[in-house]
Amino acid sequence: MKNFRGTALSWQVVDGTIELLLDRTPCNEIGSATLAELEQFTAALGNLQNEAHALIVSSARSEGFCAGADLRELYRESQKLSPTARASGVRDFLERIHGVMNTLDAAPITTIAAVHGVTFGGGFELALACDLIVADKMARFCFPELRLGLIPGFGGIPRLKRDLGNAMVRDLLLTGRSINAVKAQSVGLASQVVAEGEALRVARATAAQLAKLDRHTAAAAKAFIKPIPDDELRREIDIFCDLFTRPAVEAGLRKFVDSTDALPYLP
């Protein structure tokens, strides 16, 4: 499928670049609808990458790139289930989103996340699965999961460890604070920081540059420099599922869903 328009995202091939556009109100929260369409995308990627040398992931929402998992859906749906079924349901969701992230991470074409505004939780993890992050200077990155009594669960911890020093990983995970684009670039997360509203244009210019390079060589280089330990990804799922069954998580989710706080992601 060369072009697709769903309820949460769309994609098209433009000048040899696949453009995946997230567009779900309010800020591309990843719930069951987005996951299903991301799976459609990764299933189509095998054919799409035959006619493309790059992939750009961006957001149509002014609020930001992606605010992470759809916590309202997670809370609502988990309330309908027994504790055993909850644990099983969340593991199934994590296995599926890991499948999406792993496919993006290992795609033989170069992938670019063009981010702005809120790039939190699962949204941050999606950006980390890409090869390059082009950040609007108003982008903010954050792993707020500890507020809920959880850890990032979409493969974010092994990917963060791959890209950053352990001290910065601990800072982001254990404080849950957000960092701006300039800080993200200084620690090695973002490859470029651009003016407000310019991330997609710069990502396209970067993709145009990639078209000049031999794609076989680029794929070989990527495969060499971007391995990720499978056992750490599996361990992350196990830890997340163990934590998810604790009463503190249900309380944390309820507090988040009910919050009118200006900084609801903070512990």
Partner 1 sequence: MPTLEKTTDEILALAAVHFKVSRAELKPEDDFYKKLGLNSLQTLDLLTRLEQHFQIELPDYELQGVSDFRTLAERIHARL
Indicate which residues carry an active-site annotation: 69, 122, 125, 145
Q: Cβ closer to partner 1: 117 or 156?
A: 117
Amino acid in the structure at residue 39:
E
The interface region with partner 1, picked from 40-48, 70-78, 147-155, 173-181 by CB under 8 A, is: 173-181
CA 83 from centroid of its chain's CA atoms: 27
Check residue 112 and give left, alpha or beta (phi > 0: left; psi -120 to 50: alpha). Answer: beta
Smallest distance, partner 1 to C-beta of residue 187, A: 11
Decide if 41 contacts 4 (C-beta within 8 A). yes
The answer to whether residue 64 forms part of the interface with partner 1 (CB under 8 A) is: yes
Contact string 101-140 vs partner 1 (x = CB under 8 A): ----------------xx------------------xx-x
Smallest distance, partner 1 to C-beta of residue 175, A: 7
12 φ/ψ angles, rounded to the nearest 5 degrees: -155, 160
The answer to whether residue 167 forms part of the interface with partner 1 (CB under 8 A) is: no
Burial class of residue 156 in the structure, from the number of CB atoms within 10 Å of its CB (0-12 exposed, 13-18 middle, 19+ buried):
buried
Q: Cβ closer to partner 1: 98 or 140?
A: 140
Q: Cβ closer to partner 1: 138 or 218?
A: 138
| Strand boundaries in 168-266, DSSP class E | 178-180, 192-194
The interface region with partner 1, picked from 154-162, 210-218, 219-227, 258-266 by CB under 8 A, is: 258-266
Bridge-based pairing of strands 140-142 and 118-120 is: parallel
Q: Where are the alpha helices (DSSP H) in 53-153?
A: 71-79, 83-106, 122-129
Sheet holding 54-59, edge to edge: 4-5, 9-14, 17-22, 54-59, 110-115, 132-136, 192-194
SS3 239: helix
Smallest distance, partner 1 to C-beta of residue 24, A: 16
Q: Cβ closer to partner 1: 177 or 215?
A: 177
CA atoms within 13 A on the CB side of 204: 11
Q: Cβ closer to partner 1: 140 or 204?
A: 140
Tell me the two tokens of residue 49: 């990458």
Smallest distance, partner 1 to C-beta of residue 62, A: 9
Q: Cβ closer to partner 1: 75 or 120?
A: 120
User: Using the 8-state DSSP alphabet, how is residue 149 labeled?
Assistant: T
The interface region with partner 1, picked from 123-131, 152-160, 175-183, 235-243 by CB under 8 A, is: 175-183
Contact string 176-215 vs partner 1 (x = CB under 8 A): -xxxx-xx--------------------------------
Number of residues in contact with partner 1 under rule CB under 8 A: 22
In angstroms, rounded to a whole number, what is the distance separating the alpha carbons of residues 259 and 257?
6
Binding site for partner 1 (CB under 8 A): 27, 63-64, 117-118, 137-138, 140, 142, 175, 177-180, 182-183, 261-266
